Copies of this chain bind each other. A is one copy, B any other.
Amino acid sequence: MDTSDTWQETDGALVREFEFASFPDAIAFVQRLAEVAEAENHHPDIAIRYRRVTVRWTTHSAGGVTERDHELAARTSQLA
């Protein structure tokens, strides 16, 4: 379930807000996302606001969005 439906490129990052049915569902998503992030050694910024989770992918060393961010954004969508 998601609110913004697509990733937006904002301030040098790919950003999307996901909305879940419950707070535990939102946290379970964060857990899945964290496992992928750690396995890939690439960590998005994550903001949790009750049932809504905003994910922000960027590559600090590149100063913006890379192909890898696009790939991981797509994987993030599949996790939601």
Contact = CB atoms under 8 A, between A and B. Distances in A.
Interface of A: 23-24, 27, 30-31, 34, 37-38, 43, 45-50
Contacts of A37: 23
A27 B31 CA distance: 7
Nearest to A30: B30
Contact of A31 (B31, B45, B46, B49): B31
A21 B23 CA distance: 26
A38 B43 CA distance: 25
A23 B27 CA distance: 15
Instruction: Find the residue from A27, A31, A45, A49 having the highest chain B CB count within 10 A.
Output: A27
A49 B24 CA distance: 20
